[in-house]
Structures are given as C-alpha cells and as structure tokens.
Structure 1
Amino acid sequence: MIELTGVHKSFGTLEVLRGIDLTVESGTVTVILGPSGSGKSTLLRSINHLEKIDRGRVRVDGELIGYRQAGDKLHELGERQILKQRAKIGFVFQNFNLFPHLTALENVAEAPISALRKNKSETYERARALLGRVGLADKADVYPRQLSGGQQQRVAIARALALEPRLILFDEPTSALDPELVGEVLDVLRDLAAAGTTMIVVTHEIGFAREAADTVIFMDEGRIVEQGPPARVLDNPRHDRTRTFLSKVLS
C-alpha cells in the first residue's frame, strides 16, 4: 500500500527526516510513537504531499505521490493533480479543522460534492450513514461549536471516510482532547481497524497501539529507531532509546 524510500526533509538547517524507509501493507494499522520533534507529523504530512520532501520517493498503491518521474529527475505535479491524489488519502488532524459555518452533515458531505463532483443527494445520504458509523447520527444538523472536542474529532473522521480513501493518516487525533473524551475517539479507531482500514496513527496512546496495531514504529531525531509487532516493541524493545522513551510514557 505505502512505500517510502530514502525520504529526507529539512526546514532550513534543521534536518527533520533523515532517510526514512518504510513499507505499510494494505489493511494494516501502523502506530508511530516518539518524542516531540522526532519527525512523526512531518512523516505523515510527507505521505500526502502536505510537506514536499527534499529527497526520496513516496508511493501509494505504486503511484508516485506529488511528483512524476522523467528519467532520473522528479517534477512536481500541478496542484490539481496533487489534490486528486490527496482525495485518496484521508488525513485527520489533531485540531479537527472542521468548517465552523457548516453543520456536521455538511462538513462530511462537502469534499465529495465540491472536489469529486459526487451526486448531492447520494452524498448526503452517505454522510448521514458515516455520522451514524461514528456514533453521531443525532448530531447531523449541529454546528462544530455546539459539539464537544471528541464529537468534533469523530466528525473529522467521518469526513475523511467520505472520500473513500485508500488509507487514512491520523496525526495525534486525541492530543487536543480532554482525557474523558479520548476513549470515544479511540473506539472509532478500533472499529476502523477491525474493519480492515489501512491506517497510520501518530499517537501517545500506548494501550491503543498494543491492542489495535499490526506494527509499532518508534522514531527519534528523524529516524526510525525500531519497528515491529506491538508485543515486541512495547514489551521487549531492542534499543536503549526505545526503552527510555517507553519507561517515561508508561510510568
């Protein structure tokens, strides 16, 4: 499903990604752990070209993301082509990013109608079904300001699903929530995982990683330090840096 090869990204003199190689299989859940500044969010944003990489390749379903290759050179795609690629890659941000002037139903239906020119009545019907899937069937006509943080994040997940993406990227989807609201969002992620949705989740929720992930990745200083099944990485990490991080997170 996803293949990253030699991905580098710098912001000025700060090298944020230092040669990332990663393969994610279709239908699996990958959880990325790591301290702040380790490059986790930049890695996610590179997958759908929200961040332009400096070197390397990103492919989704074999398709080069953000660029076309001519010989040995890469040429960045036009904005319309990039948006078309992004429509196949769902992205759920930590701060929801809902349109405040649209209802929950309108937020979910907006992209399929405006970006993909989907039939309006069919799209609204599907949007209602997606709100039901995340437990918000009764909030269709409510505006974001009238929803709790957990409810807003669930609307954001429904919105990502509305485009029928090949995979969904989650950038710390519970970090902006009050502790008592975290569980309702994680329940939705567990349901998606059980349904075979391909997901990459940046999070500090170790319990979710242990329960739902097929692969856990630990990043530090722009590199993948360790990756493997949750039981091995979380319970028997091979690297000192991973052990140090987990000892602080789990304490």
Structure 2
Amino acid sequence: MTAAPATKGLIQLRDVRKSFGGTEVLKGIDLTVEPGEVVAILGPSGSGKSTLLRTINHLEKVDGGTIAVDGELVGYAVRGGRLHELREHEILRQRTHIGMVFQNFNLFPHLTALENIVEAPVYAQKKDKAQARERGLELLRRVGLEDRADAYPRQLSGGQQQRVAIARALALDPKVVLFDEPTSALDPELVGEVLDVIRALASSGTTLVIVTHEMGFARDVADRVVFMDEGRVVEQGTPTQIFGDPRHERTRTFLSKVIEPAFNL
C-alpha cells in the first residue's frame, strides 16, 4: 500500500488472520474504516472482536494479511517482496498514532491522573513537560475531571478512572482511537458518564473503533455497525439497517437475545 498523506485515520484490514494454538480466531477479516468514521463492533463473546482491535495497534501479531493506517503498514514493512516485522521502537512510534482504551483502565497506580496523561507525550513523543502538562489539564477539563488532576487511581471511581484513560489516549493526538469494551468493568450507574465522553469524542472527527455490548449506545453514536461471529465479519451496515432490518439470520438471533423487548427501534 502506498502512503496516503492527505488522509487522517484511514484503517484498512486485508485478509487478516490470527490463531491461538490450533484455534483460528480471525478468519480473513476485510474491513475499511474511513477517516473520521465511528464504527461499533458487536458480536458474542469469543467472536474475535477484542483480538481484532488488538491487531490494529500490533498488540497481537497477525498470522496473515495486512493492516494499514493512512497507508502505512502497522507492525511490518515490505522488503524484497516479503513482510518483515518492525523493530520495537518503530512499533512504539506507530502506536503513538493509535490510541487505545482498555476494559480495565490500565492506569499507573503510582502516578496521579495528570501524571498518567503526561507520561507518554513526554517520554514517547519527547514533548516539553510544561506543554504536556497544560495539554493534560485541558484534556481533564474535556472529560470533566480537572478537579481530580492530583488524585491517584485508587482515589477515583471506576468511571473516573476510565475517563482518565480516555484523556491519556487523546494526549498523543492519535489518528485513531480504539475502545475495547470501555464500560464492561464499570458498575451500571457509572456507565453513562463514560459513554457521554465517548459521544462527545465521536463528534470531533477522530476515527473511532468501539467494541461494545451497549446496543443503544452503538445505535446512537456509530456511523456503521459491524457484526462479528466466529472470527468473521458476518454483516455490516448503518445502525438503522443492522438494528432495524438485519439481513443475516445470525445477526437477527444475536440481537433478539441482547436487546430488551422494550428497546425502541
């Protein structure tokens, strides 16, 4: 793939395959996410959703196929007609363009909320510490936590920790932000505050890929919904089409089990 400098956040997956032991969990995924698009990935547990997300920033190495962001292969380079894995420092450079928010926050417990946000820009991008701190405070304001800048993770609720994690992902000014079930570890009453932050981010023009079990949120926020099952993309379309008139029987069966009967389509 050739470089595409005019785009920002274009993700292209071509025949992506991944196995763990003898089990193939991704079976030839083809998917394109346009710059600024918000894509929600749905599917039952074990369908490969989280693994797919982790291949996009090379936390999981693919066994076949390619992934590119803005035309640059992720984790690999082509030399002599063959794929060669990049060195770790080159992969880390690529990851600064691909933010990731995990299920369990993954904050450094010995750092304050602000220090968690400032860490990567200073040490990975070599940004001026004062500027990184100013940007960190701006991001804490954006997620409604400016008054908790000096709090340690143990002093924050789960929802607050996840909002700090989102701010940390944004601190690198990524082209793409990946969310791996960002509300699954939260108590139900804390889910809304995190989803509100993601809703605001979705309107900002950043490319977002969100693995989620929150059906109403996916319907309201996503530009496109992708349904996965058994390592394959079974169906994709607009939220209206997927939730209102799914074409594949497997999609219909899944949605009938996870959507409350009172859910107003």
- TM-score normalized by the length of structure 2: 0.94
Name the structure 1 match of 2:126. Answer: 117
1:68 aligned partner: 77
| d(CA) in 2 for partners of 1:141, 1:91 | 23
Q: How far apart are 1:197 and its partner, in Å?
A: 1.5
- Please state whether the residue corresponding to 1:49 is helix, strand or coil: coil
* Identical-pair percentage: 70
Aligned to 1:83: 92
Cα separation, 2, equivalents of 1:183 and 1:50: 28
Which letter does structure 2 place at the counterpart of 1:199? Answer: L
Report the Cα offset of residue 194 of structure 1.
1.1
Q: Give 1:203's match in structure 2, choosing from 188, 191, 212.
A: 212
2:20 corresponding residue in structure 1 = 11
How do residues 92-107 of structure 1 correspond to structure 2 at under 5 angstroms? 92-107=101-116
Q: Secondary structure at the residue paired with 1:110?
A: helix
**Equivalent residues in 2 for 1:168-183 (5 A)?**
168-183=177-192
2:263 is matched with none
1:164 partnered with 2:173: yes
Q: Give distance in 2, aligned partners of 1:2 and 1:170.
A: 15
Please name the residue that 1:221 is paired with.
230
Quick one: distance in 2 between partners of 1:123 and 1:68?
31
Residue identity opposite 1:20 in structure 2: I
In the alignment, does 2:240 pair up with 1:231? yes
Q: Which runs of 5+ in 2 are unaligned?
A: 1-9, 261-265
1:240 aligns with 2:249: yes
In the aligned structure 2, how far is the partner of 1:196 from the partner of 1:175?
A: 25
Deviation at 1:71, TM superposition (A): 3.6
Write the letter of the residue equivalent to 1:182: V
Q: What is the letter of the counterpart of residue 70 of structure 1?
A: R
SS at match of 2:206: coil
Aligned partners of 2:79, 2:164: CA distance in 1, in Å? 40
